Amino acid sequence: MVDPIKRISAIKLSVLSPDEIRKMSKVQIITAETYDDDGLPIQGGVMDPRLGVIEPGQKCPVCGNTMHSCPGHFGHIELAKPVIHVGYVKYIYDLLRSTCWKCGRVLLTDKEINEYLDLQRRLEKYLPFLLPVFHEHIKNKASKNSICPHCGAPQHKIKLERPTTFYEEEKGSFRKLAPDEIRNRLSNIPDNDVRLMGIDPQESRPEWFVLTVLPVPPVQVRPSIMLETGIRAEDDLTHKLVDIVRANQRLRESMDAAAPPIVIDDLWELLQYHVTTYIDNEVPGIPPAKHRTGRALKTLAQRLKGKEGRFRGYLSGKRVDFSSRTVISPDPNISINEVGVPEEAAKILTVPVRVTQWNIEEMRNYVINGPYKWPGANYIIRPDGKRIDLRYFKDRKSLASSLTPGYVVERHLIDGDIALFNRQPSLHRMSIMAHVVKVLPGRTFRLNLLVCPPYNADFDGDEMNLHIPQTEEARAEARELMLVQKHIMSPRYGGPIIGGLQDYISGGYLLTSKATVLTKEDVIELLGVAKYAGDIPEPAFYSPKELWTGKQLVSLFLPEDFTIRMKSSVNAGRLRCEDDDCLHDSFIVIKKGKLLTGVIDKKSIGSQQPESLYHWIVKEYGGDFARELADRMFKMFIRYIEKYGFTMSLDDVDIPPEAQKEIKEILNKAEEDVEKIIEQARRGELEPLPGRTVEETVETKIMERLSKARDEAGEVAANYLDIFNNAFIMARTGARGNILNLTQMSATLGQQSIRGERINRGYRNRPLPHFKPGDLSPYARGFVYNSFRLGLSPIELFYHAAGGREGLVDTAVRTSQSGYMQRRLINALLDVRIEYDGSARLPDGTFVQFTYGNDKVDPAKSDHGKAVNVDRIIERVVGWRE
C-alpha cells in the first residue's frame, strides 16, 4: 500500500447554499406527523426511514446498509417564506448598512472600489494578516455614506432589534424589513462588492444568510429513546423540527387561502422563532423554547457550547490510564519529595520496563509474583508485540524463565518510581508536582505536611490524583522539572511556598526559646529523628549537669557560612525590639551558621514568608539543601513539640474575675455612650457627618464606639493572659489564630455584622421579636457581650450564626468567580512562550510583550520580584545590614 497517512493542509468553512441543501437531501419533509397508529414512521415526516436506519435488522432504503454502516442521510424542509439565520445576523447587519438598498452596490465610489480591490489583491499576496482590519475599515467607511455614489439614492438608517428583526428609518419612523426583502437586497450585491467586505461570494453568497430551505439532520444525530414504560421519547432536535414543519405548514396554508397580512405576518414570525431556537435556544431577547415539563430544550448550539458541550466536554476532555485517586492523609515521616501510595494502588498502577541482561532476574521475580502479590507484574509484552495478561496465565514460573531481553514487563509500582501528584482546583503550576513513590500500608495517599500549602490541601477528606508517567522522557521531565524540591520558590511572589506551618512553628519557637534547656537524652532523641550524623556539640551548661539549648541544635543544620539578621513574628507588642541587642529574644541573629539570638517562628521558617531564613536558604543553597532541611530540622521541631506536650485547654482562655469585672465595666461604659448618642439624635442635636443622613451618622458613631469597646476589652484580656499560655503562643508565633480570636474567646465576641452593617433585618425595624421596633441599643442590633468562654445567649447565638453565614456565602461566590476568571486567563495565555531573545510571543511569533515582564525577571528566581537584592548581598558579605 502507498502511504496511508494523509495530511490536512487547510480547512475552509463556508455557508450552505439552498441548492446544496437540496442536492444533499434524500427526502423532503412535508408533514409534522412522525409515526402512524402502528408505530411505523410516516413517509415525509421527520422520522422518515430515508433519513437513515438506527433500528437493528432494518435495511436503509437509501444506501442499503444496516444500522451499523448507514451513515444517515439529510432531508430538507422547503420554507414557505424565508427566515433569518440567527448565526449570520451580525453579517447581515454589516452588509445592509454598507450597501445601497436600491442598486445593491457598496457605498463607495467606483474609483475607491477599484483602488480598494487592487489594495486587497496586494494584501492577500503580501500581508494577509491585515485583511480583517482592511475589511473592517471598508465596512466602517461605506456605512458612513448617506447617499449612494452609484445611483444617488439616499440611504436609510438600519436598526437591528435582537435577535433577528431589522428596521429601516424612513422619515423619522421605523419600518420593519421582512426577511424576503432583506434577502432581495443581499442578492443584489455584486460579487466584487461582496469580496471587498471580506466574504468570498464563490463559497458564500450573502443571500444564503437568509434561509429558504432548512436541512434536516439524519436520525443518527437525534435518536429517540425507549422509556421503561414502552413510550418512545424523542430527541429535543426532533421536537423542534416538528414545530418548524407545523409552523411552516400553517404559514403555507394561510398564504394559499389568501389570509389577511396580519395573520400571515404572525405565522411568519412564529416560523422565525422556531427556526431561531432550533439553531440556538439561548439567544438573548427571546424566551427559550421549553419542553412540556418546563425544561429548556437543548438545540444545536447547546450541543456545542459550554462545559458539557462537544468542544469542552469531548474534544478537550482527556481521560487517562495509569492514574488513581483517593483520600489523602498526613505523614511527617516521609520526605517532602515523596508520596505514600497504598499497596492496593501500587498493584494496579504499572510501569513498563524493558528486559535487559542486567535486570532480567529482577523482572523474572516480578513475573513469578504475578498480579496479586506486590511487587509483581500485571502484563508481559512479547517482542512480537503480543500482550500476555498475567491474571489468566497459569504457569508463571515457566513464563518467567522464558523471559529474554527485548520483552517488556509491566511491573507494579515500587519505591523510587516517579509519580505526578495533583489536587484540584489546579490553579498554579505547584498544583501538579512530581513525587517519589513510597509504597505504604493503608488505603490513603500520604504526603508530608510541609507540601500542604502549594496544593492548598488539608486532611478533612480531601482527595488527590496520582499519575504514573509511562515513558523515559516523561519520567525525566517529571524528575528534572516537576520534583517538589524544585518548586519551593513560588512564581506567584518571590518567596518560598513550601515551609513550616502550625505545629512546626510552635515547635520551632518552643525549642529555640530561651526557657528551653535539653538534657543529653533529649538531644540524642531530637538529633536522632533528624538523622543527624555528626558530633554532639559542647554543652551550653556544665553545672548542675550537662545541658544544651535548642539554638545549638538548630545551628547544627545551618550552613557554615550562613548569615542573617531578621525579626521574629513574636517581635510585636510588648516584645517589640528594633535591633539585635534584644532582651526579649525576638530578634534573630545567625552568624556563620550559628543561631546566636532570637526564636524560630513563622517569620523565619513559615510557608509563604518572603525574605525569611528559609527563603535565603532555598535561594542560596538550592533545592537539595532546602529539602534536606525540611526533612530533618523541621522533623526535629515536630518531635520537640510532641515531647513538650503541646495542647490547648479552657484554662488558656480563662481570665481572672478582676479582669472580667474590668471588661464588664468597659462594655457598660460603651453601652451608656451608645445610649447618649441615640438620645442626642432623638433630640435632633446630632450633627450629621458630611454626605450622611442623621440615621447613618448614628450608626457610624455607634459602630465606632462599640468597636473601640471591643478593642479595649480585648486589650485587658490579652494583658491578663500568661505569655506562655499555649493558645497565646500560637497566636504570637503565627502558628495558628490571632489575638482577635483569643479576645473573642476570653473577653467579648463583639459586634456581628451583615454587609458591613449592624444586624437589623428580620422583622419590621428589629432583627428579632424580642425587641421593640426601632430599638438601636447594642443588644438589639447584633452586639454579643459574652465571650465564647462564658457562652452565648440564644439571641447572641442567632446573631453569630447570621454573621457567620455571610462569610460562607462570600467564599462560595468568590470561588466560582475566580474559577471562571482563571479559565479565561488560561485560555488567553495558554501558549504564550518566552523566546530566546527575551520576548513573550504566541506560537506564530506575534508579540505579546517585547521583553517579558518589561524586565525579563522570573519571579520564582528573584527576591520578591527584584532582580538583584543588594541589601542581602551586603548582609551576606559583611554579616551586617545598614
Partner 1 sequence: MSPKKFSVLDHVLVPKHERIPISEVPKVLKEINATINQLPLIRTSDPVARELGAQPGELIKIEREDEYTGKTIVYRLVVIG
Question: How far is it, in rounded angstroms, from Cα 180 to Cα 860?
Answer: 62
Q: How far is the CB of 457 from Mg ion (least distance, A)?
A: 7
Q: Which of residues 32, 54, 60, 636 is near Zn ion by CB under 5 A?
A: 60
Residue 103: contacted member of Zn ion, Mg ion, partner 1, none (CB under 5 to 8 Å, by partner type): Zn ion
* The three cell numbers locating residue 197: 467586505
Long-range (24+ apart) CB contacts under 8 A made by 726-730 are 726/646, 726/647, 726/648, 726/649, 726/652, 727/648, 727/652, 727/653, 728/652, 729/506, 729/509, 729/510, 730/506, 730/648
Question: How far is it, in rounded angstroms, from Cα 417 to Cα 351?
Answer: 8
Residue 150: contacted member of Zn ion, partner 1, Mg ion, none (CB under 5 to 8 Å, by partner type): Zn ion
Q: Which of residues 228, 460, 560, 687 is near Mg ion by CB under 5 A?
A: 460
Cβ proximity to partner 1, 37 vs 844, nearer residue: 844
Q: Which stretch binds partner 1 (CB under 8 A): 62-70, 331-339, 593-601, 841-849?
A: 841-849
Cβ proximity to partner 1, 820 vs 850, nearer residue: 850
Question: How far is it, in rounded angstroms, from Cα 410 to Cα 355?
Answer: 10
Question: 649 Cβ partners below 8 Å, 6+ apart?
Answer: 726
Site residue total, Mg ion (CB under 5 A): 3
Owner of C-alpha cell 459586634: 751
Q: How far is the CB of 863 from partner 1 (least distance, A)?
A: 13
Q: Which stretch binds partner 1 (CB under 8 A): 57-65, 168-176, 541-549, 845-853?
A: 845-853
Residue 543: contacted member of partner 1, Mg ion, Zn ion, none (CB under 5 to 8 Å, by partner type): none
Angle at 700 between CA 696 and CA 702, to 5 degrees: 115
Question: How far is it, in rounded angstroms, from Cα 204 to Cα 213?
Answer: 15
Cβ pair 352, 366 in contact under 8 A:
no
Q: Which stretch binds Mg ion (CB under 5 A): 192-200, 410-418, 455-463, 679-687?
A: 455-463
**Nearest alpha-carbon partner for 509 in 589, 581, 605:** 605
Cβ proximity to Zn ion, 68 vs 683, nearer residue: 68
Other beta carbons within 10 angstroms of residue 436's beta carbon come to 18
Residue 462: contacted member of Mg ion, Zn ion, partner 1, none (CB under 5 to 8 Å, by partner type): Mg ion
Angle at 692 between CA 688 and CA 694, to 5 degrees: 45
Residue 853: contacted member of partner 1, Zn ion, Mg ion, none (CB under 5 to 8 Å, by partner type): partner 1
Q: Is 458 in the site for Mg ion (CB under 5 A)?
A: yes
Residue 148: contacted member of Mg ion, Zn ion, partner 1, none (CB under 5 to 8 Å, by partner type): Zn ion
Q: Is 581 in the site for partner 1 (CB under 8 A)?
A: no
Residues 88-117 that bind Zn ion (CB under 5 A): 100, 102-103
Q: What does the chain come to in residues?
A: 882
Residues 575-594 that bind Zn ion (CB under 5 A): 577, 582-584
Q: Which stretch binds partner 1 (CB under 8 A): 549-557, 588-596, 847-855, 871-879?
A: 847-855
Q: How far is the CB of 847 from partner 1 (least distance, A)?
A: 6
Residue 541: contacted member of Zn ion, partner 1, Mg ion, none (CB under 5 to 8 Å, by partner type): none
Cβ proximity to Mg ion, 458 vs 561, nearer residue: 458
Q: Which stretch binds Zn ion (CB under 5 A): 22-30, 570-578, 716-724, 841-849?
A: 570-578
Binding string, residues 130-159; x marks residues near partner 1 by CB under 8 A: x--xx-xx--x-------------------
839 CB-contact burial (10 Å; exposed 0-12 / middle 13-18 / buried 19+) = middle
357 CB-contact burial (10 Å; exposed 0-12 / middle 13-18 / buried 19+) = exposed
* The three cell numbers locating residue 119: 489594495
Residue 689: contacted member of Mg ion, Zn ion, partner 1, none (CB under 5 to 8 Å, by partner type): none
Cβ pair 421, 464 in contact under 8 A:
yes
Cβ pair 37, 29 in contact under 8 A:
no
Q: How far is the CB of 765 from partner 1 (least distance, A)?
A: 50
- Signed CA dihedral, 213, 214, 216, 217: sign only: positive
| Binding stretches for Zn ion (CB under 5 A) | 60, 62-63, 70, 100, 102-103, 148, 150-151, 153, 577, 582-584
| Binding stretches for partner 1 (CB under 8 A) | 127, 129-130, 133-134, 136-137, 140, 835, 837, 839, 841, 844-847, 850-851, 853-855, 865
| Binding stretches for Mg ion (CB under 5 A) | 458, 460, 462
